[in-house]
Structure 1
Amino acid sequence: MAERVIEVDGIELCTESFGDPSDPPVLLVMGLGASMLWWEEGFCRMLAAGGRFVIRYDHRDTGRSVTYAPGRPGYDAADLVADAVRVLRAHEVPAAHVVGVSAGGALAQLLALDHAARVRSLVLISTSSAVPGDEELPPPAEEFTRFAVAAPPDPADAGAVIDHQVAYARVLAGGRRPFDEAAALGLVRRDVERAHDFGAARNHDSLADGEVSQAPLSSITVPTLVIHGTADPMFPLRHGEALAQRIPGARLLALRDAGHGVERADWATIAAAILEHTAAGSSN
């Protein structure tokens, strides 16, 4: 299906769906600073082929969704949680199985806490707890931290931006597997070329929380699957383990030598796990 720009509550968000709308719906929530392209089309079609109606969308300030002036987003993290509800409303989906990666996993947790009726189940990939806990979790890997604190490229220099994003993808991959630079380069180029203003995504770096839930993760009652790479440089594996322990009944799937995100080498494993997990509640 072609991309579709929806407007709900005056907010324009670019969405795309795959599969039969009569199948159980799966909403894919990407991490901050990343457009829906990072839920790659081939992965989305795997889920659709398994009998799911798949929806992906661009966050504000990414891709073809509403874009704000750099440094002046005019929205907060709570608005991004509400945007997920807006996408479901526009697609006339009362409730969906919600799959979030990285910060998108945190948004998915908040969605389950603040809009429980909208969530059939959760799949949380490469993420950490969205609300404070008692345990002190390990920091990111040194290589990730060095990259994160380095000065970003001039947003007007498209070539430098692309090189920087490919380098970032290499760091996120974790270093234990061969890195597919050609695939990363192709994806980053499409992302940069497609965006209204690729530099505006940096607005996500300084978002306030807004009025988000302070409820404990123990109050999440929907079936939850946590998927985490053992080589994740942003959130070491202990983050995923702790998350699975804090949500009642949650299961953990550890991906050996996987980094941060949904890597092509893991598509079949992750898709199969999502299809199995969402099958249990598909009649809801």
Structure 2
Amino acid sequence: MPRARVNGLELEYDAFGSPADPPLVLVMGLGAQMVTWEEGFCELLAEGGFHVVRFDNRDIGLSSYLDDLAVPDLGALAAGDLTTAPYLLSDLASDVTGLFDALGFDRAHVVGASMGGMIVQQLAIDSPERLLSLTSIMSTTGDPSVGHPEHAALAALTKPPAATREQAIEDGVAWFKLVGSPGHPSDEEYLRMRATRNYDRANHPAGGLRQAAAVVASGDRTAKLREVRVPALVIHGESDPLINVSGGKATAAAIPDAELVLYPGMGHELPRQLWPAITDAILAHARKA
């Protein structure tokens, strides 16, 4: 796959559809590689008439790792001491506009999931002139009173990384089951395939820790989101155990004229059963914008 030189880093990316079509850039979440945007999902968007680009954020997947930076102290960050945060969501948002530049996109539609939703929200705050539209999926505003995780999901998210490949894959399967969609379940074989693919492609838990620090240190975006005038769509699952649906509702309430779409039985994932509905919603929003 190709790489783009961005902000002194290399970002791994690939694309679907015709470069002649309007660009639509997919931004993935905390510790998640670009392959979490499954090929079938990307192809549905490309078939809808868009040039779809997915990429690995800094510090994850096959993009550049920043292991020379200090290890963040999440406890201190949560207490308000931001000195150990190696970078912020604004830096991750700058990576996205840097990718635009590398690929020749003056403006683009952006779709972000989980932390990726936070990144595209920050992008709309920092560089609204670069966006044609934004879609924030299963994300939140940074307001600590909304979008709170269930205890089991938070415990699993903060669990120490596995010491072996076998345990990492088992942990991955367990994670997918925990945050999955009770109304749209996936079979064990599919979950194991995803966990194995993710581990074998790249395994870099230190990068996920630094990304988590960026989320914590970046704070509440609510006030600045009220000033956003980029056409916005907010999608959330009503059964999300990691970012409660209140986070999505708060995001839609903060961005003027944002459209909110909720899916019953959807957890913190993009279940295959809902790909047609979710991609149709994204495509309709982008076309309207």
TM-score, normalised via structure 1 length: 0.88
Deviations 1:37-79 (A, max 9, x none): 1001110011001100001000112111001328747543322
Q: Secondary structure at the match of 1:80?
A: helix
The residue aligned with 1:96 is 108
* 105-114 vs 215-224, greater mean Cα deviation: 215-224
Question: What amino acid sits opposite 1:249 in the alignment?
Answer: D
The residue aligned with 2:149 is 140
CA 1:196–1:90: 2 relative to 1, 3 Å? farther
The residue aligned with 2:283 is 275
The residue aligned with 1:86 is 98
* 211-220 vs 51-60, greater mean Cα deviation: 211-220
The residue aligned with 1:180 is 187
Question: Residue 33 of structure 2 contacts residue 56 of structure 2 at CA under 8 Å; is this kept in 1?
Answer: yes
CA 1:269–1:127: 2 relative to 1, 3 Å? same
Question: Residue 12 of structure 2 contacts residue 56 of structure 2 at CA under 8 Å; is this kept in 1?
Answer: yes
1:50 and 1:112 map into 2 onto residues whose CA distance is 24
Question: What amino acid sits opposite 2:247 in the alignment?
Answer: H
CA shift, 1:126, in A, is 0.3
Q: 2:232 aligns with which of 224, 227, 252?
A: 224
Q: Secondary structure at the match of 2:226?
A: helix
Question: Residue 70 of structure 1 contacts residue 200 of structure 1 at CA under 8 Å; is this kept in 2?
Answer: no
Question: Residue 148 of structure 2 contacts residue 247 of structure 2 at CA under 8 Å; is this kept in 1?
Answer: no
Question: What amino acid sits opposite 1:65 in the alignment?
Answer: S
The residue aligned with 2:124 is 112
Q: 1:255 aligns with which of 237, 259, 263?
A: 263
CA 1:70–1:102: 2 relative to 1, 3 Å? farther
Question: What amino acid sits opposite 1:148 in the alignment?
Answer: L
The residue aligned with 1:32 is 30
Q: Secondary structure at the match of 2:60?
A: coil
Deviations 1:155-203 (A, max 9, x none): x411111111221111111434423222122122112111274554333
Q: 1:48 aligns with which of 36, 46, 49?
A: 46
CA 1:69–1:252: 2 relative to 1, 3 Å? same
1:244 and 1:214 map into 2 onto residues whose CA distance is 10
Question: What amino acid sits opposite 1:234 in the alignment?
Answer: L
TM-score, normalised via structure 2 length: 0.87
Question: What amino acid sits opposite 1:172 in the alignment?
Answer: V
1:137 and 1:198 map into 2 onto residues whose CA distance is 26
The residue aligned with 2:168 is 161
Question: Residue 225 of structure 2 contacts residue 255 of structure 2 at CA under 8 Å; is this kept in 1?
Answer: yes
Point out where structure 2 has 5 or more consecutive residues left out of the alignment: 72-85
1:140 and 1:200 map into 2 onto residues whose CA distance is 21
Deviations 1:244-279 (A, max 9, x none): 111111111111100012221110001101111001
- Number of residue pairs the alignment of both structures matches: 274
2:211 and 2:241 map into 1 onto residues whose CA distance is 20
2:219 and 2:249 map into 1 onto residues whose CA distance is 27
Give the share of equivalent positions with the same residue, in percent: 35
2:148 and 2:280 map into 1 onto residues whose CA distance is 30
Question: What amino acid sits opposite 2:131 in the alignment?
Answer: V
Equivalences for residues 114-129 of structure 1 within 5 A: 114-129=126-141
Question: Residue 181 of structure 2 contacts residue 269 of structure 2 at CA under 8 Å; is this kept in 1?
Answer: no
